[in-house]
Amino acid sequence: MLDGADPESIWWALPADDEPYQFLAACAELVEALDKGPEFETKLPVVFDATCSGLQHYSGMLRSDEGRLVNLTKPEPCGDRVVLHLDGDVIDAVVEENGPSDFYGVLAVALWMKCWREAPGLCDLMVGPLDRKVVKTPVMSYFYGATRIGMSEQILEIIKKRNKKLPGGEKIPVRTFSVHEVNGISYGKFASIFSLREVNGVSYGHFRDGFLPYILADALYGLIGENAPKAVGAMNFLRGLAEIAASQNKSLRWTTPLGFPVVNAYYEADEKRIGGRRIRRTFVIGDKNEVDRDGAMDAIAANFVHAADAALLQLVALAAEKQGIPMVSVHDCFGTIAPYAARLKEEIIPHEFIRLHRHNLLNDIREATRLNLPETVKLPKPPKIGDAELEQVPQSFFFVS
C-alpha cells in the first residue's frame, strides 16, 4: 500500500489472522529502508523455523528415512503438483518443483481421506482436505508426548476459534448426537466410527463438547504412527526406560552432549484434606518419596526432545557468537539480521544439528539409566540406527525455512 493501492487489490500480500505484528514490523522496516537508502541499518530479525523439530530430532538420531518427511534430505524432483483421487473427487495438493516436504500437509490430506472413507460427517470438522492448521499443533506436540486427549483439546480449541468468526448456521459441529439418536438404529453419518468403538461402554449421550474432535485426534494419532513408525519406536523405548526406572523408585537422569544434567523427576503428590463437615478441600503440600510411574512415562518423550532442542540451541548460539553473528531464538526458531541470514541458515544451524546427532542420544540415556539401577535390572536395547546420511542436511534448503 506504499503507492496508495487498494488493499483489496493486493490481498495476496496481506497477512492472514496470524502474525499481524510481524507483518507490521516488516512494513515499518521497508518504509525506513526506502527513505534512508544505502544508509539504512536493518534491525528486523530474519527468522528460520524448523520443520516439526521433534520428528527432525528423532529422525536425526536414528538416521531414519523418515527424515525425508521433515526436510533432512535433498528434495526429490517432482512435478509441479500432486493430484490425489478420492473415488471420483480430485484433491489438488500443490507441490513446487524441488519444494519442501510438508509433513503437516501430508497428514491433513491423509486424515481427510480416512474420515471421508470411514465417517464422512467428520470431514465437517476440517476446512477441506488441505486443512493444515487443524493438524499442525497436535502433530507437532505428538512428538513431545501428547496424548489423544491432549491432541483433541488442541483440535477443539482451533475449531472454537474458527466458530467465533462464523455465523450461527455455519459453525463447525463439535458435539455428538443426542442419546435417543445415538442409541437408535440409525447412527447417521458417523455410523462406521461409532460401530468400531463403544467408548469403553459409556453412553454416547454422556459426551459433550470435544467428543467429535477426540475421534478426529484418535484417527490422526494412528496416522502419525503409520507414517513415522521409527520415531514412535524411539518414544516407546524412552517410555520403557521410564517405567523400569519407576519400578525401582528411580527417576531417569542423563546428561546432554554439552554437559547439561536432565532429571525426569515426577513423584506422587502428598495431599492433605482441610475443612469441616460441610466444606472440605484437598491441598497438595509436597511430594511423597514414591516416583509417579505414569507421570514419568508421560513426560519422558517431551523432556528428552526438549533437551535435544536446548542442546541444539546452545550449539547454534555458541557458533553464532564465535562468528560475531547476532542471534535471537525461541525454541526451534533462529533469527538474525539480513546480512548474516544466509550463514546462519545454510552453515551454522545444519552443521550444529549434525554435530549434535553424531552422539547416540538414545544410547546415552540408556547407559545413564544403567548406572542408576541395579545390575540385575534388564533394559531394552535402543532402536537400531539406520543408513540415512546426516551430511545431506546442509544440502536441504528447507531444513529450516
Report the distance separating Cα 303 and Cα 311, nearest Å: 12
| Amino acid residing at 281 | R
Could you tell me how far CA 13 lies from the centroid of its own chain? Answer: 27
pLDDT over threshold 60, residue 89: no
SS3 for 261?
A: strand
Report the distance separating Cα 225 and Cα 222, nearest Å: 5
pLDDT over threshold 50, residue 177: no
Q: What is the mean pLDDT of residues 310-325?
A: 97
Q: What is the mean pLDDT of residues 323-340?
A: 94
The DSSP bridge partners found for residue 4 are: none
CA distances from 155 to 2, 10, 63, 132, 379 (A): 38, 31, 31, 12, 36
Joined grid coordinates for residue 228: 513415522
Q: What is the mean pLDDT of residues 319-340?
A: 94
Query: How many residues does the structure list for the chain?
Result: 401
The DSSP bridge partners found for residue 46 are: 336
Task: Of 350, 362, 363, 361, give the one whose Cα is nearest residue 389.
Answer: 350
Q: What is the mean pLDDT of residues 84-113?
A: 70
Strands 89-94 and 252-255: unpaired
DSSP string, 285-302: EEEEEEE-HHHHHHHHHH
Q: What is the mean pLDDT of residues 136-162?
A: 91
DSSP string, 207-259: --TTHHHHHHHHHHHHHHHHH-HHHHHHHHHHHHHHHHHHHTT--EEEE-TTS
Q: What is the mean pLDDT of residues 210-217?
A: 79
pLDDT of 185 reads: 30
Joined grid coordinates for residue 223: 496416522
HSE-up (13 A, CA, CB side) for residue 244: 20
Task: Of 337, 112, 362, give the one whose Cα is nearest residue 257.
Answer: 362
pLDDT of 4 reads: 60
Q: In sequence order, which residues have a C-beta less than 8 Å from that of residue 116 and are 6 or more positions away?
A: 86, 123
Q: How confident is the model at residue 390 (pLDDT cuts 50, 70, 90)?
A: very high
pLDDT over threshold 70, residue 186: no
- Order of strands across the sheet with 333-336? 46-49, 333-336, 328-330
pLDDT of 76 reads: 64
pLDDT of 195 reads: 35
Report the distance separating Cα 296 and Cα 239, nearest Å: 8
pLDDT over threshold 50, residue 135: yes
pLDDT over threshold 60, residue 80: no
pLDDT of 297 reads: 96
Q: How confident is the model at residue 176 (pLDDT cuts 50, 70, 90)?
A: very low
Tell me if 397 sits within 8 A of 51, measured CB to CB. Answer: no
Which of these ranges, 11-20, 242-251, 271-280, 315-324, has the smallest mean pLDDT? 11-20
pLDDT of 373 reads: 96
Joined grid coordinates for residue 323: 562468528
Q: How big is the CA angle at 224 (ends 132 and 316), to the nearest 5 degrees? A: 75
Q: What is the mean pLDDT of the chain?
A: 82
pLDDT over threshold 50, residue 183: no
Report the distance separating Cα 134 and Cα 398, nearest Å: 22
Q: Which residue has the cell 470431514?
A: 123
CA distances from 232 to 142, 152, 229 (A): 10, 19, 5
Q: What is the mean pLDDT of residues 90-98?
A: 56
Task: Give pLDDT tens digits for 267-292.
Answer: 988 888 887 777 878 888 888 899 99
Joined grid coordinates for residue 53: 523439530
pLDDT of 280 reads: 78
pLDDT of 16 reads: 61
pLDDT, greater one: 348 or 9? 348
Could you tell me how far CA 99 lies from the centroid of its own chain? Answer: 21
The DSSP bridge partners found for residue 93 are: 82
pLDDT of 6 reads: 65
Q: What is the mean pLDDT of residues 140-149?
A: 92
Burial 378-389 (b: 16+ CB within 10 A, else e): eeeebbeeeebe
pLDDT of 202 reads: 35
